[in-house]
Amino acid sequence: MLNKMWKTWDGKLVLSIAAITLIAAAMAIAAEPPAREPGQRPGGGPAVRPEGGQGGGQRGNRPQMNPEEMMKRQLDRIKTTLQIDDEKWKTVEPLLQKVTNLSAELRGGMFGGMGRRGQNPDQAPPAPTTEIGKCTEALRTLVGDPAATEDAIKAKLTELTAAKDKVKAALATAKTDLCKSLTAKQQANLVLMGYLD
């Protein structure tokens, strides 16, 4: 009789454990969040991206500055660094801008001023507007022409060198004129900033 009771109790215990296990599993499944569809954020709803469809914070919808805006910001920073008042700045700004433009023309050569910075890279490049730019473009075209002769290439090289020498001379004069309107400390700051030699 004891043996029969033990078997009955053992069977009830097994059934109870199985029932508890099933209930625990059902509760765990119910507690899991529903699977997210692609493009959904946690908690449901579509994932939100910055305007422009780009990830990474504000980079996707950051407005592009045009060359004029970039030049103005650059000049404003210089004015602040040199501690020049508004009245004095009326004299210094055009001289400094001339130095900046000639320096940019000598470096980049193609477009003068700020060059192509700030332009949409998907757009076709504009035609060169400076003498150095025009000579550079003509030389590039000639070098890419299999029929170009040595003499023709040498002639274009001479033209480009002459255009650069002309800008170098104008830049030296512009720097001299700028220095005449500055104190020694202001000149030193512009040397440190790379605008003067």
Closest Cα partner for 112 from 95, 135, 131? 131
> Is 25 a residue whose pLDDT tops 90?
no
- Number of helical H runs and strand E runs in the chain: 6, 0
pLDDT band at 6 (very low <50, low <70, confident <90, very high): very low
Which residue matches tokens 């099933």?
A: 22
Residue 56's φ and ψ, nearest 5 degrees, are 80, 45
CA gap 41, 30 in Å, rounded: 20
Residue 67 has a pLDDT of: 76
Q: What's the whole-number mean pLDDT along residues 30-41? A: 53
Residue 53 has a pLDDT of: 45
CA gap 114, 100 in Å, rounded: 9
Share of the chain above pLDDT 70, in %: 58
> Is 156 a residue whose pLDDT tops 50?
yes
Which distant-in-sequence residues (6+ apart) come within 8 Å of 80 by Cβ? none
Mean pLDDT in the chain? 76
Query: pLDDT by residue (tens digit) across 157-187?
Result: 999 999 999 999 999 999 999 999 999 999 9
Residue 117 has a pLDDT of: 44
Residue 57 has a pLDDT of: 46
